[in-house]
Amino acid sequence: MTDAAGRLAALADEALGAPLPLRIRAWDHSEAGPPGTPTLVVRRRRALRRMLWKPGELGLARAWVAGDLDIEGDLYQALDVLAGLLWERGSGPRESRLTAALRAVRDPAVRSAARGLIALAGPGLPPPPPREEARVPGRGPLHTLRRDKAAISHHYDVGNDFYERVLGPSMVYSCAYWDRPGGTLEEAQHAKLDLVCRKLALRPGQRLLDVGCGWGSMVLHAVREYGVTAVGITLSEEQAAYARKRIAEAGLTDRIEIRVQDYRKVADGPFDAISSIGMAEHVGAVRYAEYAAILHGLLAPGGRLLNHQIARRPEADEEAYRVDAFIDRYVFPDGELAPLGRTVSQLEQAGFEVRDVEAIREHYALTLRAWVAGLERHWTEAVRFTSPGRARVWRLYMAACALSFERNRIGVNQVLAVRTPADGTSGLPLRSRDWRE
């Protein structure tokens, strides 16, 4: 078989109704498509079988993770020109244009292209999914204690050495706060941690709970700079071990406790302040009211919550909403994004007074690009510490998410809420945006 790339380009044109906006290089070394654009490399024919059997993002993701597909050239540019295929909807309510086209191509009665694509794909079933695909226990209810721990372990227990190469010395895995695009990631992460502390109005002698404490960066900053004592909780054994080591090296074991504990099991309140930074995305819609009520109950009257959380845009049909298959299977199993309005409403229903919302969407795009750059600089080490497939997962998801924040498909917000006491004294200054009091 010769000129596989030319045949793929022609089939894509027929199936999509327009030329594929990328150059194609196929397994037979043939090339086709517009010059001067990033190149979609189809290394193996089984990539086509994966996509035909699982039309849409999941088949594409499996081919990418397995190394059957690759991009040569600017990954961001390639993802940008493919955005219409991956995110624009086809005829189905939750179906992308790519999924719709592949479903049609599979049906010989609908598309004459079917025979050609099936012939190119070769005989047989696709191979099993790559081993990097998540395996969460059972098919029962979402967000049980056991299932959440397994989901967190899939994402975070992939090796602290790997995360050091991606995140840099700060070891902060959430949106940084940039003064300028040309600043450093370390400066921006320090600024974010300090902003959270100032919004919480931390003072010496107070007690802080950090929900989803990661590798301990927030509690370390709060104790060092603001004189509090702190409890950090995580479901990741590897994160907890790393955080405890950092705290011991800093000589702060008497002021910081790190626990492997679910937020639903914390019973030693009250706390003067609670930070939840990049954790609430794991809570899930069925548990969010419970999450908000638990945090409200753990705060002392007058205590503040800083909830830093990614948000999606509202859907016309909220009941039909599903997270992207690639993210669910390879990145954040069972992760869910809610619109900002729903988050604010549920915090208020739990008894909080929401006092400030700051949208920092552009900051996350800058952060993700910095993480991608870190991964690419340390690619050989990252692969050695995890696997080629895992490194490919992280590169694709972080680059795609950077574009999603830049294009306003998703956002991220810091919501400051208070457990306002009965007398109505919130404790916030009249001009709280200064965040100096």
**DSSP secondary structure letters along 211-258:** ES-TTSHHHHHHHHHH--EEEEEES-HHHHHHHHHHHHHTT-TTTEEE
Comparing 95-104, 172-181, 426-435, the range with the smallest average pLDDT is 95-104
Residue 433 DSSP SS3: helix
pLDDT at residue 110, as a whole number = 45
Give the whole-angstrom CA distance, residue 163 versus residue 398.
13
Give the whole-angstrom CA distance, residue 367 versus residue 402.
8
Q: Which residue has the tokens 């992207």?
A: 324
The CATH architecture that domain 145-434 belongs to is: 3-Layer(aba) Sandwich (3.40)
* Residue 23, pLDDT above cutoff 80: yes
Query: How is the chain split into domains, by residue range?
Result: 4-121, 145-434
**DSSP secondary structure letters along 260-284:** E--GGG--S--EEEEEEES-GGGT-
**Is the pLDDT higher at 375 or at 18?**
375
For 10, residues 6+ apart whose C-beta sits below 8 A from its C-beta are 116
pLDDT at residue 176, as a whole number = 98
Residue 425 DSSP SS3: coil
Comparing 58-67, 303-312, 425-434, the range with the smallest average pLDDT is 425-434
Q: How confident is the model at residue 108 (pLDDT cuts 50, 70, 90)?
A: low
Measured in residues, the chain has a length of 437
**Is the pLDDT higher at 57 or at 60?**
60
* Residue 317, pLDDT above cutoff 70: no
* Residue 320, pLDDT above cutoff 50: no
**Is the pLDDT higher at 208 or at 107?**
208
Give the whole-angstrom CA distance, residue 33 versus residue 109.
28
User: Which range is most confident: 28-37, 114-123, 248-257?
Assistant: 248-257
Q: What is the mean pLDDT of residues 314-321?
A: 62
Nearest to 63 by CA among 49, 75, 77: 49
Tens of pLDDT along 248-303? 999 999 999 999 999 999 999 999 999 999 999 999 999 999 999 999 999 999 99
Task: For residue 390, count other CB atoms closer than 10 A to its CB.
Answer: 20
**Is the pLDDT higher at 142 or at 350?**
350
**DSSP secondary structure letters along 160-210:** HHHHHHHH-TT---S----SSTTS-HHHHHHHHHHHHHHHTT--TT-EEEE
Tens of pLDDT along 405-426? 999 999 999 999 999 999 999 9
Give the whole-angstrom CA distance, residue 364 versus residue 376.
18
Task: For residue 151, count other CB atoms closer than 10 A to its CB.
Answer: 23
pTM of structure: 0.90
Per cent of the chain over pLDDT 90 is: 65
Residue 413, token pair as written in the block: 């917000």
**Is the pLDDT higher at 238 or at 15?**
238
